[in-house]
Amino acid sequence: MNRTQSRNFNINKAAAICAAAFALALPALASASALDQFKSFVSTTKSAKGEFSQRQVKMTDGSAKISNQSTGTFIFARPGKFIWTYQKPYEQLLQADGEKLYIYDKDLNQVTVRQLGNALGSSPAAILFGSNDLEKNFTLKEAGTKDGLEWLEATPKTKDTTFDRIGIGLKDGVPMAMELRDSFGQVSLLTFKKFEKNPAMAADQFRFAVPKGADVFQQ
């Protein structure tokens, strides 16, 4: 995959994922089910920040192939405000102010603006950055233990979504990973670290400023 294709992959996936970014601290809930842990996480975590890594996993001839690896940082405040920054391999920014989503490609000096409601829908971002009404748009169920994590599976109730299934891996009440399966059988895996729960934030933390000279496109 060339650089342009990789950039487009990140933008398209991140607009739906954007948010998946948060392994956010919760009180220890080791004895609780994954569903109880996650509901507690959503209800008690109003804001957070940390680092993420993202990669795509493809099954080829029975073996997993890792591609499109990227890393960056995130910060969010409920409902619907977040900054998701890709640092490597290319610099890209997704920022939402509660009403609009701004996607900035530094190399192209280009900003794409979307209405936040349309951009989130029944996506991982809607679960993690949105309201606490999880079961309005998703069917939630326990998904067992894998790689030392207790997994919860969220299936969108509407079929008009980017992802067919969303897995959330928790440990001691903390979301540590997300597994996103799309309709083409591709899997995007996100893992989180260095999270901080409910940090202090400036009042204008999520106000987007268009970079000097950038082209702006409305969608």
Q: Which residue, among 119, 116, 123, 147, has the nearest Cα to 137 in the 3D structure?
A: 123
Query: Does 96 fall in a domain?
Result: yes
Structure confidence at residue 7 (pLDDT): 56
Q: Residues 19-43: what's their mean pLDDT?
A: 59
Range of the domain at 37: 3-202
Q: How confident is the model at residue 64 (pLDDT cuts 50, 70, 90)?
A: low
Q: Is 209 a domain residue?
A: no
DSSP state of 108: T
Q: What is the mean pLDDT of residues 35-43?
A: 84
Domain presence at residue 184:
yes
Q: Quick check: 150 pLDDT over 60?
A: yes
- Edge to edge, what strands does the sheet with 215-218 contain? 138-146, 149-156, 163-171, 174-182, 187-197, 47-60, 63-77, 81-88, 92-97, 100-105, 110-115, 215-218
**pLDDT value of residue 101:** 92
Query: Is 212 part of any domain?
Result: no
Question: pLDDT > 70: what percent of the chain?
Answer: 74
Q: In this structure, is residue 35 part of a structural domain?
A: yes
Question: In the structure encoding, which two tokens stand for residue 12, read together?
Answer: 């398209």
Q: Does some domain include residue 210? A: no
Judge whether 219 lies within some domain.
no
Q: Is the pLDDT of residue 25 over 60?
A: no
pTM recorded for the entire structure: 0.77
Domain count for the chain, please give it: 1
pLDDT (tens digit, 9 = 90+) per residue, 166-187? 999 988 777 889 999 887 778 9
Q: What is the CATH number of the domain that holds 84?
A: 2.50.20.10
93 found inside a domain? yes
Task: Tell me the residue length of the chain.
Answer: 219
158 pLDDT higher than 70? yes
**SS3 label, residue 122:** coil
pLDDT at 109 over 90: yes
